[in-house]
Amino acid sequence: MFNYIKAEMYKWLRRPLLYVSSLIIMALIVFIFLVVSDNAPMEARGVLISIANEFLAGILIFVVILTSIFLEEFKEGTLKNIASYGLSKEKIFLGKIIIESIIFIIICIVCLITFITCIYTFTIPYEGYSNASLLLLLAKFLVGLPLYLGGIALVNILMLFCKKDFLLAILYIIVLNFRQIILYLEYKVSKSFIYVYKLLLTSQLSKLQIMESINSEMISIALIGAVYTIVFSLIGMKIFRKQEIK
């Protein structure tokens, strides 16, 4: 399986997905920095860190782009070739999630480096500013990483039932917004649904966003994200095992 992942990574590192995605996000980061620093130079650092904090939840939507790594195999009918090397369906599915996760982390690292570079290049520290807010933002991202990986595993499950890029993205966004339905059920059916609501991926990210300091509650958020990643991966492996490879 290691050789399979290594070969796939080599293939995808030669494709434009990683570089185009990184360049677009980097360009957007630089553009936002230039606009904000030009209009509010003294408060730019605080404003930009606040904007980045708001985007923490948006990253969960971004992961849907990574399913093109798996979707391509279905569209081109190359899954049979992979299976012919003796890999089980479970290992193929898990391997794709690992590859998508690695590419996602690479893109995030590039973007974080761009963000931090811009912070110290395009902005000046205002009175009362400290690096604590930046460190808190970085801590939030690291804690949220298992939640994002859970999102990758979830969207791969959905991809097994919907192999159209646009429809898959819509379906994924609908699933992420299930918490509105859970809130309705909590209001109309039973107060017990609030416990389900609190454990949702999106609810955990929302809780993370409003935190004003690094604290022990972040550990529980990271653990919940890890559980989501493991459970969704296992569910996806089981579903994929029962599907016919065409």
pLDDT in tens, 195-228: 888 899 999 999 999 998 899 999 999 999 999 9
Contacts of 238 (CB under 8 A, 6+ apart): 90
Which pLDDT score, from 0 to 100, does residue 152 have?
Answer: 93
Q: Would you say 152 and 63 are in contact if contact means Cβ atoms under 8 Å apart? A: yes
Q: How confident is the prediction for the chain on average, in pLDDT? A: 86
The answer for residues whose C-beta is within 8 angstroms of residue 222's C-beta and 6 or more apart is: 143, 145, 146
**One-letter amino acid identity for 212?**
E
Q: Which residues contact 59 (CB under 8 A, 6 or more apart)?
A: 108, 144, 148
- What tens digit of pLDDT does each residue of 95-135 get? 889 999 998 999 899 999 999 888 888 777 665 566 888 89
pLDDT at position 113 is 92
Q: What is the pLDDT of residues 5-21, one digit of tens each?
A: 888 788 878 878 778 88
pLDDT tens digits, one per residue of 148-198: 999 999 999 999 888 888 888 898 988 888 888 888 888 888 888 888 888
Lookup result for tokens 């650092």: 45
For the chain, the structural domain boundaries read 2-242
DSSP 180: H
- Dump pLDDT digits (tens) for 19-28: 888 899 889 9
**Cα separation, 114 vs 146, whole angstroms:** 22
CA distance between the termini of the chain: 21
Two tokens, residue 40: 């509010």
Q: Which residue reads 């609030």 in tokens?
A: 194
Contact status, residue 236 vs residue 93, Cβ threshold 8 Å: yes
Q: 91 near 4, Cβ under 8 Å? A: yes
pLDDT on residue 42: 67
Rounded Cα distance between 196 and 217, Å, is 18
- Asked if 64 contacts 169 with a C-beta cutoff of 8 angstroms, the reply is yes
The structure's pTM equals: 0.90
* 231 or 178, greater pLDDT: 231
What is residue 98's predicted lDDT score, i.e. its pLDDT? 93
**Among 30-34, 67-71, 198-202, which is the least confidently predicted range?**
67-71
Q: Which residue has the tokens 């339905």?
A: 181
